Chain A
């Protein structure tokens, strides 16, 4: 049996959940696919989920903590007799899946790009060495897998599954949340965006990001930022791309006034097309760029906005 931990936003399954279901179906030689939804007020997501998997386990455990999620996924895996558990990659799931793997005595295949099976093992490809190396890993069963977002086609609904409430033995709460600041994002999320427009320190001021936002909006993309920009307090941490921020792989990554340090490249070097605008022709970003303009971002960015508007008309 294969268990998919289905990420949701409280009302709908997330895109990553539908990718994870596809991953599970690709491993069908290892068993049938069931799913678990974890959280609170899960009736509507459970209803959606049963169109994709044979059995949906529903674990009403309240608001997120890593301990609760690991406990719920463990209970579902035990109930389903699952030897393979798949979750969407993301900072949150990557902090509870290791707990689950440890409890199951399972190998952990982290942030995988592709997964297949030879009938007894799961073979996965993933990036390592700050996104510079592509490696193939293999793990026997049981195994826990996280699937990197935006790597897999979305699953289509298939049949009518059953819904089963799961009782979860919750661990004593050792973590108490005192304060949570959620960055409200309008538009597409950074890791799911097909176009990312990132601004660097060279923009000179937080106000200059109005242009970055405008270009991202016109292109239907998301705004990214470099570490220097986030450290300066110009943009929220959730927008940071790089080693200590998010890893993105859009169709087009547009870097405005970004020099392109290795740590930044670790978060974007697998983008399909890289576009750079920088006044320094020697900036490292141009070495990995498909397209670029050497010039002053304060002149080039408004011109890009104008040209994009013309194209859209």
Chain B
């Protein structure tokens, strides 16, 4: 069987973001494999360990994504395909380009992150599924393959569902799906020799990003000491919320 993880590179959530000329400036940010995609990489490696076959990484993004692709290969995936395009490309158009590459690979299972830590988008997995005419399971927390089908547990807005899905299918990840492994030193050495096939693409985005800004609300920072007299502090806090903030 063949298992594909579609991954992206994003700024570390602890990184400080800067804005330059109305755009997020990532030049000083630490860039990492998206943590939601990390679950996808771990899962394709586990599926391969259990069912045999091949685990493949597919990425669509600028040249810099190569570092994240190497991380995924160092975790243990076999090889990678990197569709290279600089600049913003909306997830629907991305899905179109990715679907073409995926059709050629003909995998049984495609996994990708439930939400992207840069665009805060949840669209890529479902859009890929639509482009391929496959089913999608979003926010997957457990995945088992049996007799050419998958049994998956996934989160809903309120609650959870267990579903049986025909393969091939797309799954988007959720925390709890697995505990991603760290790349080992031998893994990192091996990854250097693994194949990354680069394919330049030039798709036109359907969505344009006009402007980005960081609008941090200035917070009041009125912190009371409740270590000595918790009752007095609590009364004062409730008073402030009622009379000053007028929210209760």
Task: Say yes or no: is B223 at the interface (Cβ < 8 Å to chain A).
Answer: yes
- Rounded to whole angstroms, the CA-CA distance of A133 and B49 in the bound complex is 39
Asked whether any CB of chain A lies closer than 8 Å to the CB of B103, the reply is: no
B66 CB to nearest chain A CB (Å): 22
Q: How far is the CA of A136 from the CA of B140 in the complex (A)?
A: 30
Picked from B164, B166, B213, B225, the residue with its CB within 8 Å of the CB of A134 is: B213
CB neighbours of A107 from chain B (8 A): 90, 92, 206-207
Question: In this assembly, does A295 line the interface, its C-beta being within 8 Å of a C-beta of chain B?
Answer: yes
Query: How far in angstroms is the closest Cβ of chain B from A86?
Result: 16
Asked if A210 is at the interface of the complex by the 8 Å CB criterion, the answer is no
Are A91 and B139 within 8 A (Cβ)?
yes
| Chain A residues within an 8 Å CB radius of B235 | 303, 307, 310
Taking the closest CB of chain A, its distance from the CB of B72, in whole angstroms, is 20
Q: Closest residue of chain A to B116, judged by CB?
A: A128
- Contact between chains at A174 and B135 (CB < 8 Å): yes
Taking CB as reference atom, which chain A residue is nearest B155? A237
- Residues 272-292 of A at the B interface (beta carbon under 8 Å): 272-277, 279, 281, 286-292
Q: Which residue of A lies closest to B123 (CB)?
A: A98
Chain A 242-288 residues near chain B, CB threshold 8 A = 243-244, 251-252, 262-263, 266, 270, 272-277, 279, 281, 286-288
When chains A and B are docked, how far (Å) is the Cα of A178 from the Cα of B121? Answer: 28
B219 touches A290 (CB 8 A): yes
B158: chain A residues at CB < 8 Å are 182-183, 185, 189, 238
Asked if B90 and A219 sit within 8 Å, CB to CB, the answer is no
Find the residue from B36, B215, B226 having the highest chain A CB count within 10 A.
B226
Q: Contacts A238-B158, A252-B245, A311-B238 known; A132 to B214 CB distance under 8 Å? A: yes
Residues A237 and B160 in contact, CB atoms below 8 Å apart = yes
- Known A243-B117, A292-B223; judge A134-B215 contact (CB<8 A): yes
A244 → chain B closest CB, angstroms? 4
Interface flag for A234 (CB, 8 Å):
no
Please, how many angstroms separate the alpha-carbon atoms of A273 and B205 in the complex? 37
Q: Pick out which of these stretches binds chain B: A46-54, A137-145, A161-169.
A: A137-145
With contact pairs A91-B157, A182-B159, A183-B158 given, residues A290 and B245 touching in the complex (Cβ less than 8 Å) = yes
Least Cβ–Cβ distance between A290 and chain B, in angstroms? 4
Could you tell me the distance between the alpha carbons of A133 and B11 in the complex, rounded to whole angstroms? 13
CB pair B221–A91 under 8 Å, yes or no, is no
Q: Find B159's partner among A180, A243, A296 (CB 8 Å cutoff).
A: A180
Give min CB distance, B40 to chain A, whole Å. Answer: 14
Return chain B residues, CB-CB under 8 Å to A42.
Answer: none
Stretch at the interface among A24-32, A108-116, A199-207: A108-116
Tell me if B146 is interfacial: C-beta within 8 Å of chain A: no
Contact in complex: A133, B212 (CB < 8 Å):
yes
Chain A residues with CB under 8 A of B248:
195, 219, 252, 308, 311
Say yes or no: A273-B241 contact (C-beta < 8 A), given A98-B123, A134-B215, A293-B234.
yes
Q: Taking A107-B207, A289-B219 as contacts, is the C-beta distance between A99 and B126 under 8 angstroms?
A: yes
Q: How far is the CB of B17 from chain A (nearest CB, A)?
A: 6
Contact of B123 among A108, A194, A277, A291 (CB under 8 A): A108
Evaluate contact between B120 and A98: CB separation under 8 angstroms. no
Beyond known contacts A67-B135, A252-B248, A279-B227: 20 more, CB 8 A cutoff: A94-B122, A95-B126, A95-B136, A98-B126, A102-B92, A102-B127, A110-B121, A129-B118, A130-B117, A134-B214, A139-B206, A174-B169, A175-B137, A178-B163, A195-B248, A219-B248, A290-B221, A295-B233, A300-B230, A308-B238
Interface residues of B (CB under 8 A from A): 11, 13-14, 17, 19, 24, 36, 90-92, 95-96, 114-115, 117-127, 129-131, 134-139, 151, 155-166, 169, 174-176, 206-215, 217, 219-227, 230-231, 233-235, 237-242, 245, 247-248
A residues lining the B interface (CB < 8 Å) = 66-67, 70, 90-92, 94-99, 101-103, 106-111, 123, 126-140, 174-183, 185, 189, 194-195, 219, 227, 231, 236-238, 243-244, 251-252, 262-263, 266, 270, 272-277, 279, 281, 286-296, 299-300, 303-304, 306-308, 310-311
